[in-house]
Structure 1
Amino acid sequence: MASIPPDAQQSTLPPPTGLPFDARQPDSDTIRLYPLSNYTFGTKEAQPEEDPSVKDRLRRLEEHYAQHGMRRTCEAVLVCHEHNHPHVLMLQIANAFFKLPGDYLPPDQDELPAFKNRLNDRLAPTGSLSTRAPTAESQDWDIHSTLAQWYRPNFETFMYPYLPPHTTRPKECKKLYLIRLPPGKVLSVPKNMKLLAVPLFELYDNTARYGPQLSALPHYLSRYRWEFVDEEGKVVAWTPGGSVDERVGTKVLAGGEKAAGDEEVRGEE
């Protein structure tokens, strides 16, 4: 008996309506980047991952699809600079894999408000750090533009930056949004995770360490013109700029509670 193709496992629910891809495209492609020293980083209570393994994560995806249809996921690309080179902020979980801040969205909530709630869960300050945020506006998330859209056609780890042919009901759609970081932003990471600042040259063509999604970030970000601002607020450099400063490298900004059973470091699929 012939097996049923994975894409034939169709949900009875129609795909949820999302924002069109160009809904957040910018009028201007010049982005100002502020130095790491302009920001405050701290830690807060641990947030254990819901899925202890990839198998468990895919099983939960199947349950979500059966109840709600395609799952929506949004992740944030937060960029600052160190020695006039762009760095992407990302999380390292259990010293095992890297991922961008964000998560899957509740099926009954609008995309952008739900995405901002997810970012607050991961990165909003608590305790004494929250008092350093002078206004509510300074803690809002300035979503600038849509960088990419990835699809998971089956209940597997593979995702693609396009909708594969003959796939009418993808199981998950992941969007990457560029978010502008204003100077003075306060970020707090769960203490069982690390918040890293990873330079673009470290990500580029490095799928073995960071996976296909994260290693593609330099390609996505190359469309922008970057202005590098110093601590006094003056534009001191811009892309393409000069050679990379030898002091540039990945920096651990906060977090990093040691976890038992650490796995090989890898990027999230």
Structure 2
Amino acid sequence: MASPSGSDVVDIYPLSGYYFGSKEAIPDKDETLSDRILRMKANYAMSGLRTCVEGVILVELFQHPHVLLLQVKNSFFKLPGGRLRPGESEIDGLKRKLSRKLSVDENANDAEWQIGECLGMWWRSDYETLQYPYLSPNVKRPKECTKLYLVKLPKNQQFIVPRNLKVLAVPLCQIHGNHKTYGPIISGIPLLLSNFSFNIVQD
């Protein structure tokens, strides 16, 4: 596929080249939204700004790019990733989180995770649920920053997912602008990827 002037090319491989299995469930940290807010407040009081990293993983199906999403409790969707530990780099933290959510051994040094470009940043100004792709000038002490990174896959890989999560390949055309189903961050991914060209690599 030819690359438009000034765009980067991302190789994506058929979904059929990937194996999906399951492993022991990851316990939920929060039973309710109130529990989550209380935990966020406690973490902020201890460590300050919460920094999260999430991976955008692309595969090909029906000649169209699909994003791998995790579905929680057959309800809401999220990208694989999570909160950084104090002093942890964004790349190391994302590799650790990807291994925890998508690999057999979460403690292994998974060199196969190739972390690419930072696609965007989202901010949570308070403890409310919404995040925005900008930080308002009147917000002096934001509570959370989420950074999205492109994760580049080899043509074959195993994905081992906790039993309480479901992994789905969702087409960009279904995600685009679908805030109601996927939330503002995931539904904005097609726009973040608009400067890339996709090279679909067939066997």
TM-score scaled to structure 2, two decimals? 0.91
| 1:182 and 2:154 aligned | yes
Task: Quote the residue 1:80 is aligned against.
Answer: 59
Contact 2:53 2:93 in 1 (8 A): no
1:125 and 1:221 mapped to 2: Cα distance? 29
Pick the aligned partner of 2:41 from 62, 83, 96.
62
| 1:71 and 2:43 aligned | no
Q: CA deviation at 1:111?
A: 2.2
Larger Rg: 1
2:53 and 2:144 mapped to 1: Cα distance? 11
Pick the aligned partner of 1:163 from 124, 128, 135.
135
Contact 1:152 1:171 in 2 (8 A): yes
1:169 and 1:112 mapped to 2: Cα distance? 24
Task: Quote the residue 2:87 is aligned against.
Answer: 108
Instruction: Map residues 182-201 of structure 1 onto 2, 5 A cutoff.
Output: 182-201=154-173
SS at match of 1:41: strand
Pick the aligned partner of 2:115 from 143, 148, 162.
143
Task: Quote the residue 1:17 is aligned against.
Answer: none
1:102 and 1:47 mapped to 2: Cα distance? 13
2:34 and 2:42 mapped to 1: Cα distance? 13
| 1:123 and 2:102 aligned | yes
Contact 1:71 1:107 in 2 (8 A): no
How large is the Cα RMSD of the aligned pairs?
Answer: 1.5
Task: Quote the residue 1:43 is aligned against.
Answer: 22
Q: What percent identity do the matched residue pairs reach?
A: 43
Pick the aligned partner of 2:8 from 26, 29, 37.
29
Q: CA deviation at 1:143?
A: 0.8
Q: Deviations over 1:192-220 (max 9, x none)?
A: 11000000111011111111111111111
Q: How many residues in Structure 1 have an aligned counterpart in Structure 2?
A: 195
Q: Which segments of 5 or more consecutive residues in structure 2 lack a partner in the other structure?
A: 1-5
Q: Which has the higher contact order (CA 8 A, sep 6+)?
A: 2
More strand by share: 2
Q: Which segments of 5 or more consecutive residues in structure 1 lack a partner in the other structure?
A: 1-26, 127-135, 233-269
Q: CA deviation at 1:28?
A: 6.6
SS at match of 1:73: strand
1:121 and 1:102 mapped to 2: Cα distance? 9
Q: Deviations over 1:119-158 (max 9, x none)?
A: 11111125xxxxxxxxx77x52111101110000111112
Q: Deviations over 1:49-78 (max 9, x none)?
A: 211122111111111110010001000000
Task: Quote the residue 1:210 is aligned against.
Answer: 182
Q: Deviations over 1:61-113 (max 9, x none)?
A: 11111001000100000001102100000100111210000011112322221
1:227 and 1:104 mapped to 2: Cα distance? 31
TM-score scaled to structure 1, two decimals? 0.70
